[in-house]
Amino acid sequence: MVGAGVLGLPYAMSQLGWGPGVAVFVLSWVITLYTLWQMVEMHEMVPGKRFDRYHELGQHAFGEKLGLYIVVPQQLIVEIGVCIVYMVTGGKSLKKFHELVCEDCKPIKLTYFIMIYASVHFVLSHLPNFNSISGVSLAAAVMSLSYSTIAWAASTSKGVREDVEYGYKAKSTAGTVFNFFSGLGDVAFAYAGHNVVLEIQATIPSTPEKPSKGPMWKGVIVAYIVVALCYFPVALVGYYIFGNSVEDNILISLKKPVWLIATANIFVVIHVIGSYQIYAMPVFDMMETLLVKKLNFRPTTILRFCVRNFYVAATMFLGMTFPFFGGLLAFFGGFAFAPTTYFLPCIIWLAIYKPRKYGLSWWANWVCIVFGIFLMVLSPIGGLRTIVIQAKEYQFYS
């Protein structure tokens, strides 16, 4: 659950401001926990059947074809978007590590660091399934906890900057509004586990006496406690210390103690290696299924090798071309994460269970839907504007 989006949360706070920022954080935590509970509950709502994929749940709610058209494109955008962002994150963290431990070394292009990071995935992508990457996933979870703690602890030890400012950084009203939209997307990106939750629940054994939703829900509760312990201190402490001058990645703002910040950047690299695989696995599954079932390819090792290497190479190329961490977070956070995380589970819940009109469940779901649509419409506008502004001053593949 704890993604690299946590590093952009102080920056999101600087765009949202204290009051709106805290409100959006708390609302997002509550809403996404509620929608995650819905998905865990719906996994086995039909006796003797398990919805092991998000699109299968969509098909049950909206019909065979419509369910597929609604869910699959959104899921693919989320999973591919995360993989692109993690390519950028891994490359930038490696570059920062290199700069910290070797101050006198000749600078190396970010493009090369992204390629170094991607090289690991040309190997790991050939692991067969979710269970086979459980070790990588465990390491990623430990790393995310570690670097989140380092981020806010190192900020606290640094102390508040003398010239700290908490007002909005943009000079114009339009700039402030667009930055606000972008901040909403940064927050939405941080809550991204819903897209693979059914695939993860599918790996848990289930019987009528002991359904998988029991242990899965316990896992979700633990995950969300950890999310709160990571997200809130990083966002609030980071913004309190640096104000509106904080970088879009909090670890870039921190420079001392050198050994600790260098370690934190390596933790980020290890974490996004594991997280990349979590989001890439469903895409591999979809691509291979499409080629075998629809285009009649033989399910060979060569097919698997080509498909997975092509995907890694494509996300690496896009990461090298658009290495804008903050802008990408905001754009994908709103455009793709808001639907699948904030309101699509609610729409599916309303379609299947049909709760009493104007009852508590009905109102709860509609509040989530309205908030989610608000995020989906506004955040990509801010994110795209940020990318365009950064691209003006950026030399591609530099």
DSSP one-letter string for 65-121: HHHHHHHHHHHHHHHHHHHHHHHHHHHHHHHHHHHHH-TTSPP--HHHHHHHHHHHH
Q: What is the pLDDT of residue 34?
A: 93
| Residue 46 in tokens | 């039909």
Q: What is the pLDDT of residue 72?
A: 85
Q: What is the pLDDT of residue 308?
A: 92
- Asked if 163 and 317 touch (Cβ cutoff 8 Å), the reply is no
Mean pLDDT of 373-387: 83
* pTM of model > 0.85: no
Mean pLDDT of 204-216: 84
Neighbour tally for 279: CB within 10 Å: 22
Report the C-alpha gap between 293 and 94 in whole angstroms: 40
**N- to C-terminal Cα distance for the chain?**
32
- Helix H or strand E segment including 221: helix 213-242
| Residue 328 in tokens | 């990408």
Report the C-alpha gap between 323 and 315 in whole angstroms: 11
Residue 187: closest CA among 8, 390, 336: 8
Q: Which sign, positive or negative, has the C-alpha torsion 193, 198, 202, 207? A: positive
Q: What is the pLDDT of residue 132?
A: 62
Report the C-alpha gap between 315 and 279 in whole angstroms: 12
Mean pLDDT of 372-387: 84
- Residue 354, sorted as left (phi over 0), alpha (psi -120 to 50) or beta, turns out to be left
Mean pLDDT of 382-390: 79
- Please tell me the least confidently modeled range out of 75-89, 121-135, 220-234, 345-359: 121-135
Residue 251: closest CA among 108, 157, 150: 150
**Is residue 114 over pLDDT 80?**
yes
Cis-peptide, bond into residue 282, ω within 30° of zero: no
Mean pLDDT of 170-178: 82
Neighbour tally for 332: CB within 10 Å: 26
Q: How confident is the model at residue 143 (pLDDT cuts 50, 70, 90)?
A: confident
- Asked if 113 and 95 touch (Cβ cutoff 8 Å), the reply is yes
- Asked if 24 and 209 touch (Cβ cutoff 8 Å), the reply is no
Report the C-alpha gap between 96 and 151 in whole angstroms: 14
Q: How do residues 154-167 score in pLDDT, each as one tens digit? A: 888 877 777 778 87
Q: What is the pLDDT of residue 210?
A: 85
| Residue 182 in tokens | 């972008």
Helix axes 9-16, 18-42, angle to 10 degrees: 130
Q: What is the pLDDT of residue 362?
A: 93
Mean pLDDT of 22-32: 91
Q: What is the pLDDT of residue 96?
A: 87
Report the C-alpha gap between 219 and 103 in whole angstroms: 42
Domains of the chain in start order, with CATH, are 4-392 (1.20.1740.10)
Report the C-alpha gap between 285 and 200 in whole angstroms: 14
Listed ranges 98-107, 132-141, 350-359; the one with the highest mean pLDDT: 350-359
**Is residue 134 over pLDDT 80?**
no
Q: How do residues 281-305 score in pLDDT, each as one tens digit? A: 888 888 888 888 888 888 888 888 9
Report the C-alpha gap between 73 and 237 in whole angstroms: 37
**Is residue 125 over pLDDT 70?**
yes
Q: How far is CA 205 from the centre of its chain?
A: 27
Q: What is the pLDDT of residue 396?
A: 65
Q: What is the pLDDT of residue 397?
A: 63
Q: How confident is the model at residue 168 (pLDDT cuts 50, 70, 90)?
A: confident
Report the C-alpha gap between 194 and 39 in whole angstroms: 8
Q: How confident is the model at residue 315 (pLDDT cuts 50, 70, 90)?
A: very high
Instruction: Please give the angle made by the CA atoms of 346, 349 and 350, to the nearest 5 degrees.
Output: 90
Q: What is the pLDDT of residue 282?
A: 82
Q: How confident is the model at residue 363 (pLDDT cuts 50, 70, 90)?
A: very high
Mean pLDDT of the chain: 84
